[in-house]
Structure 1
Amino acid sequence: MSNLQHRFFDPDSLERLFAEREISRHRVIDTPRCEITIDPIHEEIALTVPAEGSEPDVSKFSRISFAVLGDGPDSEFEIRVDATDAHFEAYNILTAIIDGLFAGSSFARATTESLGSYKALLRGKSGLSTEQQLGLYGELLLLRQLIAYLGEANAIEAWLGPASEQHDFVFGAFDAECKTTISEKRIHTIGSASQLEKIPGRDLWLISVQVTRAGLDSGESLNELVTDVAASLDMEADKFWGYLRGLGWRREDGDLYSQRFILRSPIQTYLVTEDFPAITTAALKSVIPHFETVSDVSYRVDVSSREPATPPDPLHITKSIDQQV
C-alpha cells in the first residue's frame, strides 16, 4: 500500500528534476509527513520528516548525512544522500525509509533497515545496476518454474538472457523476452531494436513482471532467489554460476542484493504481433536512411492497456508464479 502512495518519481521524471538545476521540495505522503528535496546543484537528494523518536546512526556511511533542522515542535529529521551518478538508486534509499515509516517503524529503525539494503551504493562497492537486478529477478522467477516443470537441463538450455542473445528464452517453436519493472504501470525498457523483433517463422512473447519492495518478513530478495535456484540444480549448476558471473554477479557480494520484492500484480504475457508497439530493425530501416550507422537504440513501452494472451506450454507456468512470491 505504501508503494502506491508515494512512488510518483520514475527514473525519467527524476532525471528531469535534476536537469532543471533548481532545488525543489516535494510532499510525498501526508501521514507521516514526508518530503523529498531534489538538489541538482550539489547532486543530492534528501528526505525530511517530523523529528520524532531517536536519531539514526549513519556515521558508517560516507555518502549519507543526518541533521536535525530547527527546534521545538516544528523541528525535522533530515537524511541526505550523495546521489552522484546514482540518482534513482539514492531516491530508492529514501523511499525505502518512507515504506518503513508508513508501516509503523520508527525513523531510526526504518533508516537502519533501508541503509542495510543499499550497501553497494553506500560503500561504493561495485555490483549490478538496479536495472540489471530487476531484469535478473524476473528471469529467475521464470527459470525456477521452468526447472521444476522441464527439468534443469532443458530449463538452463532455454535460458539465453545472460548469454546476450536476442531473446531471453528460446523454446521449441517460439521465443520469449522477460521484462521486469518496479513502476506502477507496465512500463518496460527495451534495450535494442532487436529485443522485440521476431525471428522469421517463430512467435515472440513478452513476459511482463511487476514487482514492488517488500518488508523484512515478506517477499524474496535477489540473493535469496539466486540461492534457491542454485540449490535446485545439480549437473547444470556450473553453467548457472557461469551465466551469473558473466552478468557481473559475485557470490561474495550476495549481501548487496538483500532488498526483498513481491509481485505487484500477476505476471502477464503478450504475443508480439504486427500491431504491437515495438521498434524493430526492419521498421527503422524502412524510414531511416543509412540505418546501419545508428546505434544504441532503446525505448520504453507501456503495455498496461494491452490485452494479455494465454501463452503456450511451457509459458503457461507463469500463472503459478503468482502464488509463490
Structure 2
Amino acid sequence: MSDPTAFPQLAWSTVEHYLGIRQGTSYPLSPPRSERLVSYEIGDGGHGISLYVELGRDQSPPRSPLPSITIDQVAHRGKRMARVRTTQSELMRDFHDLLMAVADRVVTGDRDLGRALDETVDAWAGLLHRPRGLGAERRIGLHGELAVLRAVARARGWESAVDAWTGSRGEQHDFGLPDSDVEVKTTSSEDRQHTVHGIRQLEESPGRPLWLASLQVTRGGAGGRTLGESVAAVIRDTHAVSHIAGARLEAAIDRSGWSPTEQDDERWTLRGDPLLVPADRIPRLTQAMLPADVRDHILSVDYRIRLNHLSPAPGAPVDLTDFRLP
C-alpha cells in the first residue's frame, strides 16, 4: 500500500508530454487540506515550468540565489504565492529536478521556500564542481551535429561523412567538406538565437567558404528523439556500411563527451526548417574588426546572435531538405 504522506514525485516524461503538446496543467505537490499550497505548473503563461509556494500572512518572496532563477509574487487560486521560474529554457530538464528537490524540502521537511532553495543549491554545489558529462547546450549541439552528419552521409556516404565531421576533433569548424566548411548551431529557443564561442568560430579558413547551419529544436514528447537514440542510429547506419568507419565514428562521439550512462530522457524534434547561409551574411565579430594592437591580447569572446531576419541561400554545400533528427 502506498504511503499517502509520501512526497508525490512528478516524472519528467509527464512534464515533457504536456510541453510537447503545448498544454498547460497543474500538479499539486502538497497534501490535501495542507496549510500551505505547493503546486507545479506546466505551460504557465508560456514560461515552461514553475513552482508555486503559498506565502504566509507577512511573508515576502525570498531573493533568488542564482541569476538564472527568478522568484516573484503572484495571485493563484485566491492565494498569495511565490513563483519560481528559470530564464534558461535550455536548462528546463535540470530545472525540473531542482524544483522537485526544493518542493520536497518544503512539503516533507517543513522548510520555507528561501531555506529550501538555499539548501538545495548548496547540496548541488559539490556535484556541480565536478564534471557531469555534457551540459545542456552541448547535448543539444551534439544532436544537431549528428543530424547534419546524417545529411552529409546521405549525399556522400557514411565514410566520407565521418571524415568530414571535424568538430569532434576540436577543429575550428564542425564539418570540413571538400570545398567549404560548415558550422552547426542548434538552439531550443523560439527565436533563432545562437551563442558564438570565440572570435574565430564564424571566420572563414583561408580559401574556404564558411556556411552556418542554424537548427531549432523543441521538446517532442513521445514523438521526439533522445540524444541516445540518435547516437545509436548513426552508429548502426555507419557500421552497416563499414565497421572501420563505424569504429571511427564511435571514437569521435566518445571524444565529444557523450556517454551512454549519462541522463538521457529529453526528447527533441525539429521546430522548423533548418537555415543554411554563408558566414559573410551573418552578424558576427571577426579578428579583422579588432585593432591590430589588441588582437593578441583578446583571449576569449562569446556573444549571442539572432538570425530571424535571414533566409536560406542558394549554392549550399549540403542538402538539408527532408531534414530530420537521426
Verify same fold: TM over 0.5.
yes
| Shift in alpha-carbon separation, 1:233–1:267, aligned structure 2, 3 A | same
Change (3 A) 1:29 1:242: farther
Match of 1:219 in 2: 224
2:279 corresponds to 1:272: yes
**Residue deviations 1:229-284, cap 9 Å, x none?**
11011221221121122222223x15x122100111111111112x5311112222
Contact 1:193–1:281 at 8 Å: present in 2 too?
yes
* Structure with higher RCO (Cα < 8 A, 6+ apart): 2
**In the alignment, is the contact (CA less than 8 A) between 2:49 and 2:85 conserved in 1?**
no
Aligned residues: 247
Shift of 1:147: 2.1
Match of 1:243 in 2: 252
Query: What is the alpha-carbon distance in structure 1 between the residues aligned to residue 217 and residue 258 of structure 2?
Result: 21
- Structure-2 change in CA distance of 1:181 and 1:84 (3 Å): farther
Classify 1:62/1:155 alpha carbon distance in 2 versus 1 (closer, same or farther; 3 Å): same
Does the C-alpha gap of structure 1 residues 23 and 231 become closer, same or farther in structure 2, counting only changes over 3 Å? closer
- 1:142 aligns to what? 148
CA contact (8 A) 1:271 1:308 kept: no
- Aligned AA (1:229): V
Change (3 A) 1:311 1:133: farther
C-alpha separation in 2, matches of 1:208 and 1:143: 14
SS at match of 2:46: helix
Match of 2:233 among 216, 228, 232: 228
Higher-Rg member (1/2): 2
Match of 2:84 in 1: 37
Q: Is the 8 A contact 1:212 1:262 kept in 2?
A: yes
**Deviation, structure 1 residue 184:** 0.9
- Kept in 2, the 8 Å contact 1:159–1:169? The answer is yes
Q: Which position in structure 2 is the counterpart of 1:184?
A: 190
1: CA distance between counterparts of 2:75 and 2:307? 26
Cα deviation digits, residues 120-157 of structure 1 (max 9, x gap): x89x8821111110110100011122223311110001
> Cα deviation per residue 1:283-306 (whole Å; 9 max; x = unaligned)?
22xx36332121121111111112
Q: Secondary structure at the match of 1:212?
A: strand
Structure 2: runs of 5+ lacking an equivalent: 1-21, 24-42, 51-63, 87-91, 109-115
Q: Secondary structure at the match of 1:257?
A: coil
Map of 1:48 onto structure 2 = none
| Partners of 1:248 and 1:183 in 2: CA distance | 23
Give the TM-score, by structure 2 length.
Answer: 0.64
Residues 218, 26 of structure 1: CA spacing in aligned structure 2 closer, same or farther, 3 A cutoff?
farther
Q: CA RMSD in A?
A: 4.0
**How far apart, in 1, do the equivalents of 2:124 and 2:285 lie?**
28
For structure 1, list consecutive stretches of 5 or more residues without a partner in the other structure.
10-16, 40-44, 46-57, 70-78, 88-120
CA contact (8 A) 2:277 2:316 kept: no
Relative to structure 1, is the Cα distance of residues 22 and 226 closer, same or farther in structure 2, using a 3 angstrom cutoff?
A: closer
Provide Cα deviations, 1:96-130, integer angstroms capped at 9, x if missing partner: xxxxxxxxxxxxxxxxxxxxxxxxx89x8821111
